[in-house]
Amino acid sequence: MNIDALIAYVTSTPLTWIIITISAYKIGVLIYEKNGKHALLQPIVIAYIIMLPILIVAQIPYKQYFESVSILHFFLGPATVALALPLYKNLKLIQAYFFPILITLFAGGVFTILSALGILWLFDASKITMLSMTTKSVTAPITLITAQDIGAIPSLAMGFVVITGLLGALFGTFVFKLLNIKHDAAKGFALGLISHAVGTARAFEISENAAAFAALAMGLVGVFIAVLLPIVIGLL
C-alpha cells in the first residue's frame, strides 16, 4: 500500500473535481425536483452553495479548479448554438404580436441595461462592475461568452445573472398584480426578457402560453444584447 501515491493521484487528477462538480449539480437537481421544481430553488443556486465552501476549504487556486473541469466548460459553446432550436420552435408566436414583441424587445432590452447602470452610476460604482452588470438579463451561456469579449468579469457577470433571474421570479406575481397586467403573453415575455431561464421556469407556473413567450423573449434578448453590447462598447 502506498498512501502517498494515492494522495498524489487524488489531488492531481481532473476526475476529483469533475466528480465533485457533477455531484453538487446532481444534488441541486434532486432538491429542485423534490420541491416541485420551485423557480427559486434553481439547481445552479444549490450547486453554488455546495461548491463554493468546498473550493474555499480545499484552498485550490481557482485557475487549477477551472482547468480540471474545463471539459464541462467546453459544452457552453455548442449549448449556445443549441439555443437556436427552442427559439425556432417559438418563432411562430412572433406572427401573432409582431410589433408588441419587437418594440418590447428593443425598449425592454435597453431599459434593463440602462436602469441597472444608472443605479450603479449613482453609487459611483467601478467600471468593471458596470461592465459586468450589462449582461444581467441575458441567459447564462450567452453571458459567459459575451462577458469575455466586452472586458467584463465572467464570474461576476454570472453572479448578477443568477440573482436577476431569482429576483424576477420573486417579483413577478406582485408586479403583474400591481400594474394589472392582463395578457399572459405580456407576463411571460417580460419574465423571459428580464429574468431569462429562471423567469421562463416561473412563467411555466402561470401558463403554457406564458412559458412559450418567455422562452421566445429569452432567446431574442440574448441575441439582441450579445450583438448590441460589443458594438456599443467598441464605439465608446
Partner 1 sequence: MLHGILTLLLFQFIGECISKFFELKIPGAIIGMVLLLLFLVIKKGSFHALDSSVFWLLRYLPLFIIPAAAGIITQVETISNELFAILASLIFGTFLALAFSAKLMDSLISRKEKR
Contact positions with partner 1 (CB under 8 A) in 184-213:
185-187, 189-191, 193-195, 197
Which CB, 6 or 173, lies closer to partner 1? 173
Which CB, 39 or 185, lies closer to partner 1? 185
Which CB, 190 or 212, lies closer to partner 1? 190
Examine residue 19 and tell whether it contacts partner 1 (CB under 8 A): no
Question: In b/e form, how buried is each residue of 2-15, taking b as 16+ CB within 10 angstroms?
Answer: eeeeeeeeeeeeee
Query: Which x/- pattern, by CB under 8 A, does the window 94-133 give for partner 1?
Result: ---x-xxx-xx--xx--xx--xxxxxx--xxxx-xx---x
Stretch that binds partner 1, among 6-14, 33-41, 143-151 (CB under 8 A): 143-151
Which CB, 112 or 212, lies closer to partner 1? 112
**Residue 107 and residue 13: Cα distance in Å, rounded?**
49
Examine residue 151 and tell whether it contacts partner 1 (CB under 8 A): no
Question: Please, is 201 exposed, middle or buried when counting C-beta atoms within 10 Å of its C-beta (0-12, 13-18, 19+)?
Answer: buried
Name the amino acid, one letter, at 81: V
Cell 437556436 belongs to residue: 84
Question: Please, is 92 exposed, middle or buried when counting C-beta atoms within 10 Å of its C-beta (0-12, 13-18, 19+)?
Answer: exposed
